[in-house]
Structure 1
Amino acid sequence: MALTCLALNCSLKRSGTVSSTDKILRELLAELTRSGVSGEVVRVADLDIKPGVTADEGEGDAWPALRRRILAADIIALGTPIWLGQPSSIAKRVLERMDAFLSETDEQGRMPTYGKVAVCAVVGNEDGGHHCHAEVFQALNDVGFTVAANAGTYWVGPAMGSKVYKDLSEPYEPTVRATRMAAANAAHLAGLLAGARYPGLAG
C-alpha cells in the first residue's frame, strides 16, 4: 500500500529563504522514502491561514485547501523552529485550525484524522526541543492523530549561540538517528492503521 506524508514547514520564513526547518523536514522525508513513503513539504508562511478554529474562516482563507491535503495524507510531519522556548506562531496557528476536527466526528465518534500518524521535527539554537515536542504532540493527539514511538526528531544548538542547523558542515549523528527512527516507526504505524481502522464508540 502506497503511503504519503505531508510535511508542514512552520518556519517564519517564506519560500526562497533557506530554512533550518526545511532542512530537517527534507531529511525526514528522505528517510521515509526508505520505507516506501512519498511526501512533500509545504511552507505554511506562504499561505494566508486565517486565525480561528473553524474549517473555513471565509474569503481568502487558505486553510480549507491545506486541510484537504492534510486529510489526504497518511502521515503529517509538523516542523517548527523554537522561538522564546516555544513552537513558532505559525505552528500554533496550524494547531488552532485543527481544533475544528473535534466537532467533525462520524457516527462512531471518530475524527477525520483517526488513523493518521504524527511526526514532529524541531530546530533551534536555544533550549526547548522537548518542550516543543510536548506541546505539538499533545495538540495533535487531542485532534485525533496517532503518535508513533520515538516520533520526534530535533537539533538544538549551543545556548544563546548563533549556530543554526542549516549551516552545519556535516550531519549531527544523534539527530540523524532520531530522524531515521521517527521515519521508520511512523511508516510502520501508518501501514498498520491503513489496514485496520480505529473501532470508535459502539452504540
Structure 2
Amino acid sequence: MTGPDVDGLRALFVNCTLTPSPGRSHTAGLMAMSTAIMAANGVRVDEVRAVDHHLAPGVQPDMTEHGAERDDWPAFYERVRVADILVLGTPIWLGEKSSVCTRVVERLYGNSGELNDAGQSSYYGKVGGVIVTGNEDGIKHVAMNVLYSLQHLGYVIPPQADAGWIGEAGPGPSYLDEGSGGPQNDFTRRNTTIMSWNLMHLAAMLRAAGGIPSHGNDRNAWAAGARFDHPNPEYR
C-alpha cells in the first residue's frame, strides 16, 4: 500500500545556493535525490536557483511598485503559486540558512496576504519541506527556522519534512566532492526518501480533501463579522 495517488502533483524545488548557474551546487546534488523520487512517481518537478534571478529586497508582491528598478519575483511567484509542494534547499553559512534563502522567505511573505476562494492564505493546502547542506553543524537549526516560516505563511508541514548532510567541522569536502561520503550516507538517503514521500502523501491527501476546511480561518468571514466561537465576540 502506497497511500494516496501522487500522480500529477506539482513540486517546486528552490535552490538557495550562493552559486549561480552553471556552477556546481552541493545543495542541488542532495536535492536531486528527492526530485528523482518524486519524478519517478508522476510528480511534475520544477527546479530553480533563486540566485539566477533578480529578487529585489522587500516584502511586497512587486517591488517595482515600491522603488525597485527591477524585480523578477512576480514571474518567480507564478512557479510557486502552481506548486502543491515547495522545498527550499539551502547551504549553511555561519550557522544559518543562506542570505538567498532569507530573501526567498521574505518574498514568499509578501504574497501571504493574498487569499484563495475560501478566504484563506493562498498557501493553504500546500505542503513545505527543506533540504540543508554544509560543512558545519546546524541542519536542525536551519530546518526549524525555514519550516516555522513556511507554516506561518500557511504551508502544511508533514512529519519529518527536513533532510540534510554536513561534512566534518571546518574546511573539508562538501556533499558532491570526491570522497565526501555524502551521496552514499545511508542516514541522509533514508531521511531524504522519507521526507519526499511524506511531502507527496500529504499533498495528495490535501488535494483529495479539497484543501483545509475554511471554518475558523476564513479571513473574509472574519472581516464580515463572523467570530467562530471566539469567547469575546463583542471585541471587534
Provide the TM-score with structure 1 as the length reference. 0.95
1:177 — aligned with what?
Answer: 190
Amino acid of the structure 1 residue aligned with 2:72: A
2:214 — aligned with what?
Answer: 200
CA distance in 2, matches of 1:91, 1:131: 14
Identity over the aligned pairs, expressed in percent?
A: 36
Q: Mapping of 1:156-175 within 5 angstroms?
A: 156-167=166-177, 168=180, 170-175=183-188
1:131 correspondence with 2:162: no
Question: C-alpha displacement at 1:31, in angstroms?
Answer: 1.5
Structure with higher strand content: 1
Match of 2:122 among 88, 109, 112: 112
Question: C-alpha displacement at 1:108, in angstroms?
Answer: 4.7
Amino acid of the structure 1 residue aligned with 2:99: S
Q: 1:34 to 1:45 in 2, by over 3 A?
A: same
Question: C-alpha displacement at 1:25, in angstroms?
Answer: 1.1
Match of 1:55 among 49, 58, 61: 61
Q: Mapping of 1:9-48 within 5 angstroms?
A: 9-48=15-54
Is residue 54–residue 97 contact of structure 1 (8 Å, CA) maintained in 2?
A: yes
1:92 correspondence with 2:89: no
Is residue 133–residue 164 contact of structure 2 (8 Å, CA) maintained in 1?
A: yes
Amino acid of the structure 1 residue aligned with 2:193: R
Question: C-alpha displacement at 1:102, in angstroms?
Answer: 3.2
CA distance in 2, matches of 1:112, 1:172: 37
| Aligned positions, number | 203
Match of 1:140 among 121, 125, 150: 150
1:94-134 per-position Cα deviation (integer Å, ceiling 9, x unaligned):
00111123322347541111111111000000011000000
CA distance in 2, matches of 1:20, 1:103: 34
Unaligned runs of 5+ in 1: none
Provide the TM-score with structure 2 as the length reference. 0.82
Relative to structure 2, which stretch is displaced further, 43-52 or 159-168? 159-168
Is residue 113–residue 122 contact of structure 2 (8 Å, CA) maintained in 1?
A: no
CA distance in 2, matches of 1:33, 1:16: 22
Match of 2:81 among 64, 71, 75: 71
CA distance in 2, matches of 1:25, 1:175: 11
**CA RMSD, 1 decimal:** 1.5
Is residue 25–residue 41 contact of structure 1 (8 Å, CA) maintained in 2?
A: no
Unaligned runs of 5+ in 2: 1-6, 217-225, 227-236
Relative to structure 2, which stretch is displaced further, 82-91 or 97-106? 97-106
Amino acid of the structure 2 residue aligned with 1:92: T
Is residue 108–residue 201 contact of structure 1 (8 Å, CA) maintained in 2?
A: no
- Greater CA radius of gyration, 1 or 2? 2
Relative to structure 2, which stretch is displaced further, 183-192 or 28-37? 28-37
Amino acid of the structure 2 residue aligned with 1:24: L
1:123-163 per-position Cα deviation (integer Å, ceiling 9, x unaligned):
00001100000000000111111111111010011011311
